[in-house]
Amino acid sequence: MGKLNKTDREWQRELSPEEYRVTRQKGTEAAFTGKFWNTKQDGTYICRCCGEALFSSETKYDSGCGWPSFYRAINPSAIEEHDDHSHGMNRTEIVCHHCDAHLGHVFEDGPEPTGLRYCVNSASLELKTEKKNDEETYP
């Protein structure tokens, strides 16, 4: 899958103002406010902008930081890492490889087996679950 290129105007039409601020302008949602920070539902976390599979609920854990945290990406090539020296800090930004959406940051203070903590904004994600809706359960 090649890079997804859209104009700012196209992204603004497709995303909420908060999703646009976070994913396209490298914003950060406030800790403990995103819809997935405390979610325990099984499924696959996909990129809000392009639908790329990024993280599994099996690797999600409570890091105590207030954002959804994962210790491994589903496919390491789905996420790109960039040096981030903004706000007087040295961090590693993570973005979706397919559409360049800002996801959050990765830190080396996570649990085994990777020792990584992918700290992700809920506004950058959607959760695909295996749960069927009521309409699908009737013959």
Q: What residues are annotated to the active site?
A: 119
H helices of the chain, in order, are 8-14, 17-25
Q: Which residues pair with 22 in a beta bridge?
A: none
Give the amino acid at 2.
G
Structure tokens given for 84: 């981030």
Q: What is the spatial distance between Cα 106 and Cα 48, in angstroms, rounded to a whole number?
A: 18
Q: Which helix (H) or strand (E) holds 3?
A: none
Give how far the C-alpha of residue 120 lies from the chain's centroid of Cα atoms, to the nearest Å: 5
